[in-house]
Amino acid sequence: MGQIRARWPKTRIVIRADSGFCRDAILSWCEENRVGYLLGLARNKRLYKALGRELAEARTEHAITGRSARRFRDFRYRTRKSWSCERRGVGKAEYLPNKENPRFVVTNLPRSRGGAKHLYEQRYCVRGEMENRIKEQQLGLFADRTSTATLRANQLRLYFSSFAYVLMQGLRRLGLEGTRHAKAQCTTIRLKWLKIGARIRITVRKVWLSFCEAYPYAREMAQILANLRRYPAWAPPG
């Protein structure tokens, strides 16, 4: 934390995590070190009661429209024993078809940084998308292959996987722009654009790559190469 603050002194630091990290020691440390937090808060009877009116309104709207309905509420909350002080809580009262789906978040961000709806939908729920990207690296680029006997070897494997993800993200953002695979996951990119058969011929002056004429993505491959040539860092030497 000290190194981050020394390098970027004006940067705001905010952590997001699920309810497993909602512990007084973590919350207090964030408050003492000027770190914002948005942490999931496990449901209980007191929280249900605090969101009772909003849940009733969401249930009524769902009964009228037949669609999912949401309400949000800001409130103050403190556990009976484990927390050292009262903190800001945010509640989402949602009613799905025949099912209540309330969710709760605790935060130290002031209301000037956003109301309950904004904090939950725009700030907290982004955590799920970040987890999707982590899962994409684990499943598509084998970030979970840390089965060697030493910590350093496992760390090196994770480094390689992380480097590969950065390259994949660059290929997706720059090369696949304008194609039907512009939002493809790493597994799709690896299988359709990288893991393909080719004949390699090496002559004195050139290296020839010959692809199968029946390759179904030949036209898109040409578009990807054209996209990459627009950026100097990707341009082949003259």
pLDDT digits (tens, 9 = 90+) for 74-116: 999 999 999 999 999 999 999 998 889 999 999 999 999 999 9
pLDDT digits (tens, 9 = 90+) for 222-231: 899 899 888 8
Nearest to 37 by CA among 89, 83, 92, 85: 89
Counting the structural domains of the chain, the total is 2
On whether both 137 and 76 belong to a single domain, the answer is no
In a domain, 115, yes or no: no
Tell me the two tokens of residue 47.
Answer: 């929280």
| Single-letter amino acid, residue 192 | K
Q: Which of 110, 144, 166 is the last residue of a domain?
A: 110
Does residue 91 sit in the same domain as residue 139?
no
Query: Within a domain: residue 125?
Result: no
For residue 171, give both structure tokens: 């290929």
Say yes or no: 96 and 178 in one domain. Answer: no
**Last residue of one domain, picked from the residues 43, 75, 110:** 110
Question: Whose CA is closest to 175, among 236, 225, 235, 141?
Answer: 225
Residues 136 and 56 occupy one common structural domain: no
Answer yes or no: do 72 and 167 share one domain.
Answer: no
Q: Which of 64, 60, 41, 63 is nearest to 52 (CA)?
A: 60
What pLDDT band is residue 117 in, cutting at 50, 70 and 90?
A: very high
Residue 53 pairs with which residues in a beta bridge? none
Decide if 122 is inside a domain. Answer: no
What is the rounded CA–CA span in Å between residue 97 and residue 238?
A: 62
- Identify whether residues 97 and 189 lie together within a single domain: no
- Percent of the chain surpassing pLDDT 90: 72
Instruction: Report the number of secondary-structure helices (H) and strands (E) in the chain.
Output: 9, 8
Which residue type, as a one-letter code, is found at position 185?
A: Q
Tell me if 79 sits within 8 A of 89, measured CB to CB: no
Residue-number span of the structural domain to which 141 is assigned: 132-234
